[in-house]
Amino acid sequence: MHRLKEIYQKRTIPRMKQGFGFKNDFQVPRIEKIVVNVGINSQLNPKLIEQIEENIQAITGQKPVKTKAKKSIAGFKIKEGQVVGLKATLRNEKMYDFLEKLIHIVSPRMKDFKGLSCRFDHTGNLTIGFENQLPFPEIDTATELLYGLEVTIITTAKKDEEAKALLQSLGFLFKES
């Protein structure tokens, strides 16, 4: 069994049942999936897009899907069907592996890291934005191609407080608000 999954089952479930008054284990929020997303410039060289795709695959352990524009937007010079991003959705074991890496390797490598911001959407999901991909150990620090990416942790929590308690019990550090 994966270490974070074991922590969730042995420590998180009992604490959250006691703290939030859940009656059974299935009411306790859990992490459903993690989405890693990169928005890319539509005018970018196809070889660079391929390099970004390889980097995302190295970071997540699975091949990302190309997201395409649903409709044309003249102001942004985007045509319908044009590739505007890459995303990878992680579930089960790959999700727990990625979480472990995010908590113990990537967070400490972030510049001036003092905890994650507590900005959840109002349905218990947390999005973490990265200015560049360099904190991830799979990326060569000598690379010239820098791009931002976002990691969205989707939980089954109904409230932000529940999601924060869930993530804190798994080892996430949050800034004091």
Phi, psi of 35 (to 5 degrees): -115, 125
CATH architecture assignment, domain 3-170? 2-Layer Sandwich (3.30)
136-152 confidence digits (pLDDT tens): 767 666 566 677 788 88
- The residues spanned by each domain of the chain are 3-170
pTM of the full predicted structure?
A: 0.83
What's the pLDDT score for residue 35? 92
**Helix crossing, 160-170 with 13-20: angle to 10°?**
150
Q: Reply yes or no on whether the pLDDT at 1 is more than 60.
A: no
Confidence of residue 109 (pLDDT cuts 50, 70, 90): low
What's the pLDDT score for residue 89? 92
What's the pLDDT score for residue 46? 76
